[in-house]
Amino acid sequence: MQNIIDIAVNELITIIDSKKNSKKVALQFILEELDAARQENDFVKDRLNSFYFNDSEYIGAMDRSWEDVDGPKGPQQFLITLTTQLSNEFEIDIVADVRITIVEYIICHYKFGRYYLDEEIRIAKNPLKLFDVLVDDNKLHPNFKKLLKEENEPIRDVISRWASGFEDRDKKFNKEFQTTFNSSFWELYLFQCFKDLKLKVDFSKASPDFTLQITDNEIVSIEAVTANHAINTEPEWGNTTIREDSDFLNFASIRILNAIDTKHKKYLKSYSKCEHVKGNPFIIAIAPFEQPLFFIQNNEAINRVLYAQGRDKKNGFPEIKVPSAIKNKKLSLDLGIFTSEKYKEVSAIIFSTLGTISKAITQTTLDRNIRSSRYHEYEGLIVNIDENSKHFETHLDGLQIHHNPYAINKLSSSAFQRYEVTHYYYDIEREYIDNKQKSYTMISRNTV
């Protein structure tokens, strides 16, 4: 059967590539197939979710076709003919599984959905030169020094692609990337996110970090920040001190809260006075780098900080209230900043534990094993360990958007909409976190 699939895929690619707008034809062919697959067996319908297409993209696609796709010499007719022939020899469920497998190969070949990778190199007027070393070796950040190793050239190439088109406005970015690293790296990760979302950054605005045109009527301001280790605590690049779970999440919550609070105060003091910021949604984009193994916190610490909610891991994981975090074993800090009007100036929080160097590694051909966990609507947690060549995740995988119900200037629900981007809404009356995560999207990932 695999031989039939391979022959069919090659023929379909030949047919599609013969068309004038081959990429457009490929996408329409895929959407029509997904639209049709909604009527198939449960296995096929579940696989639709793993392709990372929103149902709004493909429902009704068959009614929007044209001859290059559906005509006698189009890919659709070829596949219909093939599956009709297979139906004479095999059970209908087997044929349906073969058909959706062929479609996945086409999705992969043309890099749509879960296989999407923006490889375009943009040109900036004042481009970054990230790896032209500017300071003495003893001043270089440990993470940057690792990237300079010869074997890590593919990772440097990926990060340089993320940075392409980024304007060096203040002439400090290169040095900060080399000496403090994490905050600059997070900005570059975010910049590539915005490119993947087809959003243009207005670099004529000096601050906050990003000004984005979401729609004709919606402009958002985004300030990027990282939660870093505290003085006299183990930095994230160390590996000698790993906190116990409760202390780990408590410490993560304190550092995240501190970072958000600092940027909120900055907004009140200066950003709110900028004309391009007034009346528009203000977003804080935060990534945690506060301790070793920071990336295993997933959404647990951010849920404590924003909603004062956690999980009781000792008693079957029920939801519990976590109203405070204890700083230095004595000072109680209130959590749940999105459960009142205290931070009403913050429209949303962008958060991710997956915007790390491992994200860059997954976009290379380096020989690594990737351990990942994904959410599934019915199965819960799906854990895989794959070779890097067989592991697929998009740049946006793992990105969370937390909407503040008390925000003065609310972020529209249509902003940052992609299948793999998870949106969080808080129901004030029910005190309930409405998590919109979809099947097969990533929860955690690390490289081995």
> For residue 57, what are the CA distances in angstroms to 28, 31, 197, 209, 328?
10, 7, 15, 31, 50
pLDDT in tens, 88-130: 998 999 999 999 999 999 999 999 999 999 999 999 999 999 9
DSSP state of 286: E
Residues 6+ apart with CB under 8 A from 244: none
Asked whether the beta carbons of 414 and 56 are under 8 A apart, the reply is: no
Judged against a pLDDT cut of 70, whether residue 146 lies above it is answered with yes
Size of the chain in residues: 448
Judged against a pLDDT cut of 70, whether residue 84 lies above it is answered with yes
Task: Give the burial string for 128-138 (b: 16+ CB within 10 Å, else e).
Answer: bebbebeeeee
Which pLDDT band holds residue 319 (cuts at 50, 70, 90)?
Answer: confident
| pLDDT of amino acid 312 | 80
| pLDDT of amino acid 231 | 87
pLDDT in tens, 398-422: 999 999 999 999 999 999 999 999 9
| DSSP per residue, 318-375 | -EEE--EEEETTTEEEE--TTSSGGGTT--EEEE-S--SHHHHHTTS----EEEEEEE
Mean pLDDT over residues 300-321, rounded? 88
> For residue 195, what are the CA distances in angstroms to 23, 119, 120?
19, 11, 10
Judged against a pLDDT cut of 80, whether residue 240 lies above it is answered with no
What's the gap between Cα 404 and its chain centre?
19
pLDDT in tens, 243-254: 787 899 999 999
Return phi, psi of residue 225, to 5°: -155, 155
Mean pLDDT over residues 216-227, rounded? 95
| pLDDT of amino acid 78 | 96
Question: To which H or E segment does residue 158 belong?
Answer: helix 153-163
Judged against a pLDDT cut of 90, whether residue 56 lies above it is answered with yes
Q: CA–CA separation, 318 vs 299, rounded Å?
A: 15
Q: Where are the beta strands (DSSP E) in 137-231?
A: 210-215, 218-228
| DSSP per residue, 96-149 | HHHHHHHHHHHHHHTT-GGG----PPP--SS---TTS--S-GGGS-HHHHHHTS
Which pLDDT band holds residue 341 (cuts at 50, 70, 90)?
Answer: very high
Nearest to 114 by CA among 357, 398, 387: 398
Q: Which long-range contacts (CB under 8 A, 24 or more apart) does 208-214 make?
A: 208/271, 208/277, 208/282, 209/285, 210/285, 211/276, 214/412, 214/414, 214/415
pLDDT in tens, 377-393: 999 999 999 999 999 99
Asked whether the beta carbons of 297 and 288 are under 8 A apart, the reply is: yes
| pLDDT of amino acid 305 | 98
Q: CA–CA separation, 328 vs 349, rounded Å?
A: 26
pTM of the model: 0.95
